[in-house]
């Protein structure tokens, strides 16, 4: 039995599913007065490891295609994954949604995190990419076209934010919205919910 080959195949399958980069998507987070919240992500995401193979070889190997399809079939067994479909060319269509308790963290597809600090400040942010990472994503041809929408309960105290649009009528109508057009475009918001 070729244990080295089995180990390499297992590692390759793990590496292919370790990271997905959202491309076209809508993401929403709605907070409640007790700091609990629900989130939803609907859109497409690409696998950068498989994209690198596609770029290098011009096509994906049958083994890689099978692994990506199998990953999509297994994804709905993970927490909050409603549906996952492999589209081909290293891309998936995903629907992910779920509730979170007050103070419970969220790390969504390396594009969004929700973390509550000891002082009660809630920080919603996307990761800051290093220049090397930006260049690698550009080489892979990853194009991002997404929208992030955050709804806060009345009485929430916004400390800072960089949204492109904000609620009107003293924060009672609408949401904080970001139009995300690049992998390195950062969304950032800090707030407290009085309670």
Predicted pLDDT of residue 6: 33
Predicted pLDDT of residue 9: 35
Question: Of 7-21, 59-73, 136-150, where does the model show the most confidence?
Answer: 59-73
Q: Which residues in the chain belong to E strands, given as ranges?
A: 21-31, 37-46, 81-88, 91-100, 106-108, 112-116, 122-125, 145-151, 157-161, 176-180, 188-192
Q: Which residues contact 145 (CB under 8 A, 6 or more apart)?
A: 23, 24, 25, 180, 181
Predicted pLDDT of residue 1: 39
pLDDT band for 195, please (50, 70, 90 cuts).
Answer: low
Predicted pLDDT of residue 172: 63
Separation CA 16–CA 191 (nearest Å): 36
Predicted pLDDT of residue 8: 33
Residue 10 in this model has a pLDDT that exceeds 50: no
pLDDT band for 171, please (50, 70, 90 cuts).
Answer: low
- pTM equals 0.83
Q: Which two tokens stand for residue 159?
A: 């400390």
90-110 mean pLDDT:
94
Residue 45 in this model has a pLDDT that exceeds 80: yes
175-179 mean pLDDT:
94
93-98 mean pLDDT:
97
Q: Which two tokens stand for residue 186?
A: 């950062």
Residue 18 in this model has a pLDDT that exceeds 80: no
Predicted pLDDT of residue 109: 84
Predicted pLDDT of residue 129: 77
**Percent helix / strand / coil, the chain, rounded to 5:** 25, 40, 35
């Amino acid at each position: 039995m070729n244990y080295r080959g089995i180990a390499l195949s297992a590692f390759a399958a793990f590496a292919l599913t370790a990271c997905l980069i959202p491309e076209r998507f809508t993401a929403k987070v709605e907070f409640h007065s007790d700091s609990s919240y629900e989130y939803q992500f609907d859109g497409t995401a690409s696998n950068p490891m498989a994209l690198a193979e596609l770029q290098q070889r011009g096509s994906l190997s049958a083994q890689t295609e099978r692994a990506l399809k199998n990953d999509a079939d297994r994804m709905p067994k993970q927490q909050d994954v409603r549906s996952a479909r492999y589209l081909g060319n290293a891309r998936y269509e995903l629907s992910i949604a779920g509730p979170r308790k007050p103070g419970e963290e969220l790390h969504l597809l390396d594009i969004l995190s929700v973390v509550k600090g000891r002082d009660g400040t809630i920080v919603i942010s996307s990761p800051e990419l290093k220049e090397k990472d930006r260049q690698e994503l550009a080489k892979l041809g990853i194009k991002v076209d997404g929208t992030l929408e955050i709804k806060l309960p009345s009485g929430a105290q916004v400390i800072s934010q960089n949204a492109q649009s904000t609620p009107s009528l003293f924060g009672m109508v609408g949401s904080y919205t970001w139009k995300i057009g690049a992998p390195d475009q950062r969304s950032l918001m800090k707030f407290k919910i009085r309670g």
